[in-house]
Structures are given as structure tokens and as C-alpha cells.
Chain A
């Protein structure tokens, strides 16, 4: 290929007229970026553009939600730029027009690998947190059904198994993202954690969370308590609840965990999964449930599966039915251009050919306008 490319450059010199390959003039930032930081004000006009999230907000709103590569990108560029895309705008329209006295509507974001489902979910989470909702963000449900070292038998229910580590991690992040709500919401029942510890009625939820963090053994139960309280109090209308689950197909698939007698664990036997399933049922009102399907972390599913039917399986599909499906496609030409322009502007693409029109066409061809492929391609360049 080197031989070919050397000849190719020679041929290009011969063939094309000697046009000066001048670097395109500095395009004004306004074309690809928008200074609109508030997702609430994003409209079709902003479609294809990137908006900035201040870093403090990122730490507050997304302690645990963003994809790993995006976090690396934030560190490299020292700013968090998210693209406004059509699926997200669709969701905003639905959320704005939804009636909160009806049971919560479920939205399932699906699409092929690497098209931006998690980023769309994060965009929605940002929007809701700006609007003042209480956000229950589960970064990846797959983490709860695989690679768990410690499984405790639950004290609450003999059949179920606890996962103290995952639960405590999640509680910590939940605390960071929803500080103020934890003081406002009060418990409605008395909960006994053990022989000597209990939480009285009327105490702020923050105490339950502290309890879960302090006594790690009861972290899963603490999480269950938190979820139940939020579910029961949501319909009163004092706050809106957004349940954002990434990789929801993990709740109904299989797990790779085994009990001590080497028998496989089914998802129902895990406390975390059980509670989350109750959350995702639409028997409560006053909020919305936005979920994403993910093949990447899923277990025992072929890599070409991306539709809800395939990834959720019959059980999951019946449980989530009815839902509003939201497909996320690859980049449109406009979105591709703005992503490419952003990389150029931040000097991420160092190769001299990458600045040319041909380079752009090559990148588009090789990545197939898939956001993840483009990101991986642009890395070494």
C-alpha cells in the first residue's frame, strides 16, 4: 500500500492541475458549535452542533454516566462537548409534552454499535437535571450481572443475593448527583437494618444513603429502600423522577455469576436487578423512564443484534411493552462534518492529509459515518 500511495501521490500531481492545497480558512466557531449550554433551549436549528458543558457541571451531573472514551476526550480537550442530535431532540419534545399524572412512559433508545445511544442518554440526563428533575442514572446495568466477586445472601429475602460493592458505588454516585433532593425527601416507613440500626419515619433520605455507605453489607437493601421511596413519593408532584438505565437488556438476560454450588444465578435472584425491574415497570406516575439497549456489554447475545426484540428477549420485551422506541442512526453528512470540523479545530487530526477534502472523504468512507469508528480512526491520526 505504501508503494501504491507513493505512486498515487505522483499520479495525483500529474493528473490534477496544480491547485494550491491551501489550508481552508479558519472557519468561525459558530458553524459547529453553539453557545447554548442549556439543553432545554436546543431545537432543530441546533442540530448537528456541539454544545459545551462546564466541567463543574459534568462532575456534579455525571459522576458515573459518561462513556469511558468520552471521559478521556474531556480530559484531553479540557472541555466537554456533546453533539445535539435528532433522537435527543425528539426525546425532549416527548418529555416536554408528557402528562405527568399518567403512568410513566418508557422510552427505549436502540441502534447499532457505536452510534451514540449512551451519549443521547447523557444528553437527556443533563436536560432533566437542568430542569430540576431527580435523576436516577444507572450507568451500565451489565456491570451488575457480571464480574461480581462478592455475593452475599440477602438478609431481607432468603432467596436473593446481594451485591454490596456495586450497590455502594452506585449509592455514592447517586449522592453526588442529587444532593439537594436527599435532604428534602423524607422516609415514610421505619426501616430496620440490623439489631441496633434503624431509620425512623420522617428522616431525610440522605440518612438512608449514609447508612448504606457506612454499613456496606446493607447497601443493596438501602438502594432498594431509596428506589421504593422515590417511586411512592413521585406521584405527589413535588419533584419529577427520571429513571435512566443504560444497558437495560441486562435485566432480563442471563448472568455469568454462579452461586457457591456452581449453579448459575438468574437475574431475578439479584436484589439490585429485582429492585430495578420494579422501577422500570410503569406503575408509578410523575416522571419518565429512558433506557438504552446495549450489545457491547451484553452476555450471550450475537454481535449483530441491535433491535429491542433480539436484545431484550421475550421476557424483557413483554416486561417493557409498551414503550416508545427511538432509533439512533449513524452520523448524517452534516453531523459528520461538524464532528470532523471539531477535531480539526482542536488539532486532534495531525496528519497533513486529514486537512484536505480527500482526507475527509476517506475518513467518511472508512468509518462508515459511525461515531465510534470515526473516534477510533481519528485517534492515531
Chain B
């Protein structure tokens, strides 16, 4: 007889094919929810707060305090959330004990999608019937334009989450076309509630940048302030009217603070663009960054301050010239296995 003395892990590991995502049973989820609630009460006790009124925000704060983490990715940090947010929703078993599926469209493969299409089409038909009734009665058709500008349809991923099954792009586009057809009908207001399930509000994007009005100091001279950043430099500029074009940075003249011509040209740019070089006085404070970054920061700060002195059209010109945009370029991080952000180590053939 042979006795097994020594085995390797490779032999023990059976060749199992990759199974799908883990299936969580309902009982498991329920247990998780109970544990979560208990844990919430424990946590509230630990923090000295009232367990009854302990909200999710309080939980987040408490966890961040108890387990401080320096990781950049927020989702990699320790978190404590309700199990429904953590475990993705899964479909329950679609067939009964006898093996017979519950839904009549089960054997199509995408049962929820087709049932949704059927429902939407029924709504469409009902709207058309209502429309015919209304025209038969002779009443005028109501035409209230839905505000299409502030809303958008659900994205494919959101729809997939809602239906809990995979869709193809084609299916998704067909569904959206059907919805649009429904909305295009004049009497679609009756089905407004149904349609709202598939549309989302989009916040108004362009927030008008408010230009501050001019302030006046004791002598009656108008002035305005602006702030600017570039790389790591932060600058604030105060631009006074009725000036001679003198500029002071951190208490010193620009000739002494920026001996390099390039930096002074950067400072000159907003004034030169507007054509008002010798008309304003400026006092700035700047910190951080290097010589070029400080010059860029002051340039941005002065351009922002000059907005108050200038017409809207000129503000638009400045924006197009790039004087009012924050320069997003910062130093790129060095990656491991490379010498710098992009430079790789010298490649040796052998």
C-alpha cells in the first residue's frame, strides 16, 4: 500500500472553472444588515453619541477618525456602509421548485428588458388612444413642451442597474428611441410619472461667474482684488485705479523681485491685452512655488481683479485669450519601475 507523505498545493487545487460573481443568499444579506445595525450602535456608544440619532455621515466621520488612512483612493479606505450599498443587488432565483420560471418572458433571455419594452409600448398605445379621443371631441391638443434642456435619459449603466441584467448598445438605443417617440406625442403628459422614472435632472452647467463690483477706499480711488494660483504658488493682487503703472510684490519692486524679463512679461500681459499699461497701480502678495509659478499666479490674480474695471465684452476676450483660466498643469508623480514620470530606466539588451 502507498501512503501519501507529501503533496504540493498544485495537485490539491482542482481545476475549477471561473465561476461568476459570488451569490449572496437572502439570509446572508439579512445577517449582514443585523450586524451592521448592531455595529452602528456600538460605534455610537464608543463615540459617546446617541445611538438612535446616529446618521451615515456620523458613521463616516467616526470611521475616518478611528482608522486614519493616507491612501488616495477614497474607495480603498476603511468604510462602514449599509450592506445594500456594499453588496450589489442580485436577482433572486427566477424559477420555482418545480423548475417552472415565474416570468412569461424568461426564455427570451432578457426578460426584464422585453417586459419593459412591452410596458412602454402599451403606454404609447394608450396615449395615442387618448389623443384620438381628444381630437374626436374637438378639444384642442395641449402642447406643453417638456423642459428637455434640464433633463437627460438614464445611461446604459444606470438602466442595467435598474433592470439587473446586461443590455447591449442596440437594445439600449431602441429603448431610448421608444421613449423619445412617446415624449414627442402631444398628450404625453398623462404618462409623465412613468417617463420621469427614466429621466434625470441635469444641473445647469454654466454658472455665471459673478464679477464683483468695484470697491472704493478712503481716498475715493477704486480698487479690486483677485486671487490666482499656479502649480504651488498662491497670489493675491489688489489693483488700484488712477495709478502710474507701479507694481509692488511682497513689498519690493518688480524689478528686484523678478530679475528675469520673462516673468515681467507675464505680469505685463493682462494690462497690455487691455491696452491700459500705465493706468493702474498694483500691490500683490505671493507665496509658494518657484519664480515662474509665482509670475503665473500673479498674472491670473491681476486678470481676475481687472475684470471689475472692464466691460463684459472685454472680459469675454480675456477669457478667450486664456487670461482667466487656472493652469491645471502640476508636477506629475513618479511611478515605481521608472526613473521619472515618463522616463524609463535605461534599457540594456543583456
Contact = CB atoms under 8 A, between A and B. Distances in A.
A368 B255 contact: yes
A358 B268 CA distance: 12
A214 interface: no
Interface in A160-191: none
Interface in A360-381: 361-362, 364-366, 368, 370, 373, 377
A232 to B, nearest CB: 45
A361 B321 CA distance: 21
A23 interface: no
A370 B255 contact: yes
Interface in A11-36: 11-12, 14-16
A194 interface: no
A1 B265 contact: yes
14 contacts: A1-B269, A4-B273, A11-B273, A358-B275, A361-B277, A365-B245, A365-B264, A365-B277, A365-B278, A366-B261, A366-B265, A368-B253, A368-B254, A370-B255
B37 interface: no
A16 B275 contact: yes
A304 interface: yes
A8 interface: yes
Contacts of A1: 265, 269
Contacts of A361: 245, 277-278
B317 interface: yes
B119 interface: no
A362 B272 contact: yes
Report the 10 A-B pairs with minimum CB-CB distance, sorted nearest first: A368-B255, A361-B277, A11-B317, A7-B321, A8-B273, A4-B321, A366-B264, A361-B278, A365-B268, A365-B277
A365 B244 CA distance: 10
B74 interface: no
A3 B323 CA distance: 11
A364 B278 contact: yes
Contacts of A368: 253-255, 264
B269 A362 contact: no
Interface residues of B, number: 23
B255 A8 contact: no
Contact of B271 (A3, A11, A365, A370): A365
B255 A4 contact: no
B275 A15 contact: yes
Contact of A377 (B245, B261, B322): B261
Interface of B: 245, 253-256, 261, 264-265, 268-269, 271-273, 275, 277-278, 313-314, 317, 320-323
Contacts of A364: 245, 277-278
A373 B258 CA distance: 12
Contacts, number: 56
Contact of A4 (B254, B269, B271, B275): B269
Given A7-B320, A362-B277, 15 more contacts: A4-B273, A4-B322, A7-B321, A8-B272, A11-B314, A11-B321, A16-B275, A304-B256, A358-B275, A362-B268, A365-B264, A365-B271, A365-B277, A366-B261, A366-B265
A4 B299 CA distance: 13
Contacts of A365: 245, 264, 268, 271, 277-278
Interface of A: 1, 3-4, 7-8, 11-12, 14-16, 304, 358, 361-362, 364-366, 368, 370, 373, 377
Contact of A358 (B245, B277, B322): B277
A373 B253 CA distance: 14
Which one of A14, A361, A364 has the highest number of Cβ atoms from chain B below 10 Å of its Cβ? A361
B317 A15 contact: yes
Contacts of A3: 321-322
Contacts of B278: 361, 364-365
Given A362-B272, A365-B268, A8 B321 contact: yes
Which one of B254, B277, B317, B323 has the highest number of Cβ atoms from chain A below 10 Å of its Cβ? B277
A115 B3 CA distance: 100
Contacts of B320: 7
Which one of B265, B272, B323 has the highest number of Cβ atoms from chain A below 10 Å of its Cβ? B272
A240 B241 CA distance: 54
A22 B333 CA distance: 53
A112 B146 CA distance: 71
A366 B321 contact: no
A306 to B, nearest CB: 10
Which one of B245, B256, B321 has the highest number of Cβ atoms from chain A below 10 Å of its Cβ? B321
A164 B213 CA distance: 71
Nearest to A4: B321
A3 B320 CA distance: 10
B298 to A, nearest CB: 14
B253 to A, nearest CB: 7
Which one of B255, B265, B269 has the highest number of Cβ atoms from chain A below 10 Å of its Cβ? B255
Contacts of A8: 272-273, 321
B134 to A, nearest CB: 54
Contacts of A366: 261, 264-265, 268
Contacts of A373: 255
B269 A358 contact: no
Contacts of B261: 366, 377
B299 to A, nearest CB: 11
B137 to A, nearest CB: 59
A377 B314 CA distance: 29
